[in-house]
Structure 1
Amino acid sequence: MRKAAALSLLVLVILSTTLAGCNFGKGSNEEDSKGTNLKLPCSIVSTISGEDVLYYEIEGDSLKKLDLDLKGHMEVYSEELGLAVYREFADKGTNLIITNGVKEHKISVDGNIEELIISPKGTKLLYRYNSGDKIGYKVLDLQNFKEFDFNENLAISGENVKFVNEDQLILYGVDLEKRQSGLYIYNIKDGRYTLEKQIVKAFIDYIDLVEDQVVLYTQSSIDGKKNCYIYNLDSKKESVISNEVGEIESLCKIGNVVYFIGTKGEGLRSLYSIDITNNKLDRLVYDFPKNISEKSKLIVAGDNIYFLGFNDSKEKNALYRYNLKDKSIKLIDSNKGQYIIIK
């Protein structure tokens, strides 16, 4: 889903289209791509072999090849808008390309783009850029291509920022004027923010939205203790669901169970589950596969959770699925190249 240096080397893609009213106008930033309107499913996996990039839709225990002809590698997308975004390197920075398959819109960014995050309904894109002397964030409206600068009075700590909805972000950071660190709700349109929860003598390692108005975060205290919390933005109630979690890289919540790729304490990276009714943490993957890919994200489709893993070489990974009903693990596809889950 998180290493900035690695992400800055990837080519990025997001989806934008006339199907949902995206405003591709006639201007210097638009050009025809001579294709057809993109139709994108909810679960996509790409494979990279040399210079060849292919895209597939996950269908149960198999992959269906998609007819996508993109100039760059799709990194994130909006199924709702039918948009794809990829990145191309320029002489003085990076170009962010948004395409609906027929037209392309180009945005020039000073420096490298290090992360892209799509909003829940796919209408906005948050990206982090690094121009050498400055690391900053911007939000792009994918319907009219309006950009929103981030309020520089609020400094985001690390990569701890996620969409709450189409108009708000939740983040862990510092109010530079008040010198106050904590969880903040940030309004995209006007740049205003409110302190949701002050964090003292501790710091947030990871944060994500697990359902509407509910976030999960891990917090490390200066005494070395680490807890995983569920926090409700409406009721302001929080609860510790585990004190055994080490790192979290990607997660999903199904019913009362949180599934995540990460570690238990300082253990090996694997697929784990936490039952929030009893705080029980279980490891779900052991020797098949032996390892979970570092950049693997999770896709939920039907009764299955899909993830990437490998046995010997991380360059030769494969697509696996974990079945929620019978708790079985199955190899879905391999030998097509380097697999990437696009989400």
Structure 2
Amino acid sequence: MFKKGFKNIGYFIIVFLVIGLVGCKSHRISEGEKVDIPKFTEVITLKREKDSLGIYNIENGDISKAMETKDMVDVKYNNKNSAYVFINIIEKGKELNKNKITIIKNGKQTILDNFYSASDIDISKEGNKIAYRSFKQDSLQSAEGMKIYDLENKKEIKIKSDVLVSGSLFKWLNEDEILYYGINSEKENKAKIYKYNVKENKEEVYVDNIEGICTYFMPNGDNVLLLSRQGDKFSLSYYNKKDNSLKKISEEVNQVYKGTKSTKNMYFLGKNDLENKDYLYKIDGSTLNLTKLTYDFPPKIDINGGIASDKNGNIYFSGYEDLKEQPLNEIYVYKEKDDTVEIISDKENSYHIMGER
């Protein structure tokens, strides 16, 4: 069973949700006929059109239409193993939108809809499993916690844990292991990052020396980039699994919105605490040096516009060229090889960047 609870830590109250299965019901699975497999590149963007939404491929600076939809709001995918996961809106609610999860795996479609709303989907490295949050009703108070679904075997994976998971702080480490941040209320009152192996049905502490409250983390191989807050102080740190060390990178970042990785470095959209300004940041994979990559170009980062990278070290994100025309944004790319930022969209729109990485 999922458990719900509250735990006071310092001046903050964190709402945690236990990992597990809600009730005895399994997902209602609706299988239809074979469907066409989407043809996506490593990086895609949602683009608002007159009466619909378009999904566009982004490759080598070119933007081309891949498919059209009217109700899609999120996409996670793995091209190699033909796994595509969509969140489709059914109707708008007061606090949440009623939606469903549509899965296309090897050309066959499965629908998950035994919830009111689902969000924060994270797909495993090989695209055979997803983790997500769900809500029972049109209320943020009706959270059911994190769920894990096996796309290959079309079944929910039941895991046993007393850890109360904090919001959407969960990420796949590899195909069979997932990391999540929370408190084991039965044993202690300090939150940690835990690892669960769904194949061996085993849970263990992964990062236990976090200062304050973790507000964001991103796995990088076996290591973890994380942002924590203690009182009014922030710490962007890097956990090295090999020697179980936590190295502080910076105290200037007070929020990380979303991140991605290249083969060499880590990138994220974040807010500078001293300047109260959003930037695209790079963390060097070798030295862990933090660098701002955007200053006045673009004039403003779209923190809700997404970020993704391709195998060539191109980092795609959204920003505002004309501050008066918000929420219309443009697509930008940071080229790792050239250390330059370029605009690649030909006109403003409501773009949202997504990708395999």
Is TM > 0.5 for Structure 1 vs Structure 2?
yes
Pick from 269, 273, 287 the counterpart of residue 265 of structure 1. Answer: 273
Higher deviation after alignment, 249-258 or 238-247: 249-258
Q: C-alpha distance in 1, partners of 2:159/2:119?
A: 16
* Counterparts of residues 1-343 of structure 1 (less than 5 Å): 29-32=30-33, 35-66=35-66, 68=67, 72-73=71-72, 74-89=74-89, 94-100=99-105, 103-131=108-136, 132-151=141-160, 153-180=162-189, 181-189=191-199, 191-199=201-209, 202-210=212-220, 212-222=221-231, 224-254=232-262, 257-266=265-274, 267-275=276-284, 280-301=289-310, 302-310=312-320, 311-312=322-323, 313-335=325-347, 337-343=349-355
TM (normalized to structure 1)?
0.81
Q: Secondary structure at the match of 1:269?
A: strand
Q: Do 1:183 and 1:199's aligned partners in 2 also have CA atoms closer than 8 Å?
A: no
Pairwise CA distance, 1:342: 1.9
Separation (CA, whole Å) in 2 of partners of 1:100 and 1:171: 26
Indicate conservation of the 8 Å contact 2:54/2:69, yes or no.
Answer: no
Please report how far the alpha carbon of residue 321 of structure 1 lies from its aligned counterpart in structure 2 after TM superposition. Answer: 0.9
* Unaligned 5+ runs, structure 1: 1-26
Aligned residue pairs, count: 313
Counterpart-to-counterpart distance in 2, 1:276 and 1:145: 37
The amino acid across from 2:236 in the alignment is: C
1:105 Cα deviation from its structure 2 partner: 1.0
Distance 1:46 1:241, change over 3 A: same
**For the Cα contact (< 8 Å) 1:300–1:306, is it kept in 2?**
yes
Q: Is the 8 A contact 2:55 2:68 kept in 1?
A: no
Percent identical residues? 25
Q: CA deviation at 1:254?
A: 4.2
CA-CA distance at 1:129 after TM superposition: 0.7
Shift of 1:30: 0.7
Q: 1:335 to 1:100 in 2, by over 3 A?
A: farther
Structure 2 residue runs of 5 or longer lacking an equivalent are 1-27, 92-96
* Structure 2 CA distance for aligned equivalents of residues 102 and 304 of structure 1: 29
AA matched with 1:305 = I
Letter aligned with residue 30 of structure 1: E
Deviation of 1:51 after TM superposition, in Å, equals 2.7
Q: Deviations over 1:254-282 (max 9, x none)?
A: 46643221022252111122346555433
1:39 Cα offset (Å): 3.2
Alpha carbons 2:53, 2:70 under 8 Å: kept: no
> CA shift at 1:253, angstroms?
3.9
- Assess, with a 3 A threshold, how the Cα gap between structure 1 residues 65 and 173 changes in structure 2: closer, same or farther: same
Q: Could you give the per-residue CA deviations for residues 215-261 of structure 1, whole angstroms, max 9, x where no partner exists?
A: 11112224x33222211334323322222222112223446643221
One-letter amino acid of the counterpart of residue 232, structure 1? N
Q: 1:225 to 1:298 in 2, by over 3 A?
A: same
The 1:31–1:163 alpha-carbon spacing in structure 2 relative to 1, beyond 3 Å, is same
Query: In structure 1, how many angstroms separate the alpha carbons of the residues matched to 2:300 and 2:330?
Result: 11
Judged with a 3 Å threshold, the aligned counterparts in structure 2 of structure 1 residues 101 and 189 are, in CA distance, closer, same or farther, namely: closer
Work out the CA distance in 2 between the residues paired with 1:142 and 1:234. Answer: 31
Q: Distance in 2 between matches of 1:263 and 1:54?
A: 30
Please state how far the C-alpha of 1:61 moved relative to its aligned partner.
2.0
User: What SS does the aligned partner of 1:341 have?
Assistant: strand
Which residue of structure 1 lines up, in the alignment, with residue 19 of structure 2? none
Q: CA RMSD in A?
A: 2.8
1:48–1:336 contact (8 Å) kept in structure 2: no
TM-superposed deviation, 1:133: 3.1
Aligned partners of 1:137 and 1:149 also within 8 Å:
no
The answer to whether the 8 Å contact 1:78/1:84 transfers is yes
